[in-house]
Amino acid sequence: MTIEDPHPSDREMLLAADGELSSRRAASIRAHFAGCWACRTRMSELETTIRDFIELHRSGLDPLLPAAAGPRALLKAQLAELAAGDHGESPLRLFPLSFTRTVAVCLSTAVLLAAAAMLLTRSSRSLRESAAIPVANLTPGATRPATREDVCRSEPDPNVRLVPASVRQKVFESYGLSNARPDAYEVDYLITPELGGSGDIRNLWPQPYSHTVWNAHVKDDLEDRLHEMVCDGTLDLHTAQHDIASNWIAAYKKYFHADKPIAR
Amino acid sequence: MPDTPPDSNSIELPLAVRPAAAFSSPRPDLESEVISLFDQLRNPLLRYVLSIGIRVQEAEEVVQDVFLSLYRHVRIGRSRSNLRGWVFRVAHNLALKQRESSRRHLGNADGSGDVAERRYDPAPDPEEQMVRSERRKHLLAVLRALPEQDRACLYLRAEGLRYREIADVLEMSLGSVSISLTRSLARLQRADGATGAWQ
């Protein structure tokens, strides 16, 4: 140890450990460590503290992280939705920026901004709707063998809608919602049992009660409407099953002749 | 620190810039690259936004919004440099907004409650439940007593961000990041019972 080789400061030691120093200064500190037990001890204590912090941080949070499969599938669906409705998202980029068109660009800016705002609004609405629709590869819909007469019996089986707790848990897990508040969602049948839907997990999904305009209460109204139509003979059972499984929001708009939910 | 990818100063999507004529065609490659980045960063992001003090479900929604924003960001030709820093910055801002919104909501509902104190679902504080020793309790107490910005620096570093990225996310200087981390680790070390000169 020499006067020209003083102990590095705490801050420098951390910078060195994190690889944030210049290579020259880092080499100098490494050389110092080679001859200084005290500094190596301090560095070891630093690493111990970092390790303890990481252990505390991870042990508190990692057990709470839901499985990634559900959120990943949801993101894919939403990206696909964005891509499908995304035809030249930035019209300003397509405008030539040559001098001769500068004036035209200026005059057009207000119109283009208005168009962009409309695109954004439409995209947001579309996303809100997609969040209310189950992820197709997790919940494609499934039916049980049932005829029109079966589903239109005057006394429906009161147990048919019960979803066992274990199945509910599996549904939440598959959608990455293991820690969601149960009262915020209805584990719903995509094809309702009153229309011949089965209790298979492929026919179940966690539908938010209030997260979106297109919530569980609205879908309940559609199910009632379709059941009435099937039973009064104005709609065949297979079509009802197909339409509600394909896109229940589109089915609502079709059978209620409305673009948004009708006030209850 | 663990989980720091090698050579991870920045993450860039490798897509080449497309000609304008291709803008109207679908870009399945961009979607898959965003999904790939989601696979890499989803858990670190979730941990970080949870540490800010929002619920698990809210954190999951924030992360979804972050990657949808990332898609739009790249789609309209914005910079692809240091996307990891960009993603954490957006997540940080969204999580703060969410926390404020939840606080207002809770305030309206029952007039009480610090969301940060109930950040971990489903129990009020499972992290506390997991503390098995006095030493860890002390660490946790010191961690919670740190200024919020110091905690954020620690959490971001714990998720592998370099000092420059942390400075960008938290809008502070590089030197301030270094000072913050040094100060926080010194405090944690004192709680950890070390007797060395590190302080």
Cβ-Cβ contacts under 8 Å for A30 (sequence gap 6 or more): A16
pLDDT > 70 in chain A, percent: 72
Q: Is the pLDDT at B32 greater than 70, yes or no?
A: yes
Q: DSSP 3-state assignment of A187?
A: strand
Which residues have C-beta within 8 Å of that of residue B44, sequence separation ≥ 6? B3, B159, B160
Nearest-Cα distance to chain B for A249, in Å, is 22
Greater model confidence, B33 or A263: B33
Quote the tokens at residue A182. Answer: 């149960």
Cβ atoms of B20 and A94 closer than 8 Å: yes
Q: Model confidence over A138-181: pLDDT tens digits?
A: 888 888 888 888 888 766 555 556 777 778 778 877 777 766 66
Contact A52, B197 (CB under 8 A): no
Over residues B67-88, the mean pLDDT reads 89
Q: Please choose, from the candidates A196, A191, A77, the residue with its C-alpha nearest in 3D space to the C-alpha of residue A141.
A: A191
Q: Give pTM, 2 decimals.
A: 0.57
B122 near A CB under 8 A: yes
Is the CB of residue B107 less than 8 Å from the CB of residue B43?
A: no
Closest CA to B192 of B106, B148, B134, B126: B134
Task: Name the average pLDDT for chain A.
Answer: 76
Q: Assess B19–A contact: CB distance below 8 Å, yes or no.
A: no
Could you read off the pLDDT of A79-122 as tens digits, one per residue? 887 887 664 443 333 333 333 333 333 434 444 444 444 444 44
Interface test mutation site (partner B, options A37, A75, A78, A122, max chain B beta carbons within 10 A): A75
The alpha carbon torsion through A43, A50, B169, B82 (nearest 10 deg) reads: 70
**pLDDT over 80 at A199, yes or no:** yes
Q: Which residues of A touch B26 (CB under 8 A)?
A: 83-84
Q: Where are the beta strands (DSSP E) in A69-210?
A: 185-189, 204-208
The alpha-carbon gap from A53 to the nearest alpha carbon of chain B, in Å, equals: 8
Strand, coil or helix: A256:
helix
User: Which residues of chain A have a CB within 8 Å of the CB of B137?
Assistant: none
> Is A61–B47 a contact, with Cβ atoms under 8 angstroms apart?
yes
Angle, helices A23-35/A37-61, rounded to nearest 10 degrees? 110
Kindly tell me if the per-residue pLDDT of A130 is higher than 60. no
A11, A88, A180 member nearest B24 (Cβ): A88
Least CB-CB distance to B130: which of A60, A68, A180?
Answer: A60
Residue B152, both tokens = 């954020």
Q: Which chain A positions have a beta carbon within 8 Å of B60's beta carbon?
A: 66, 71, 176-177
> Among all chains, which residue has been given the structure tokens 């993101």?
A75
pLDDT in tens, B129-163: 555 567 777 888 899 899 999 999 999 999 999 99
A181 three-state secondary structure: coil
Are the beta carbons of A41 and B8 closer than 8 angstroms? no
Name the residue facing B182 among A10, A48, A127 (closest C-beta).
A10
Please name the residue ranges forming H helices in B19-173: 28-52, 56-75, 83-110, 126-130, 134-145, 148-158, 163-170
Q: Under a CB-based contact definition with an 8 Å cutoff, are residues A93 and B23 in contact?
A: yes
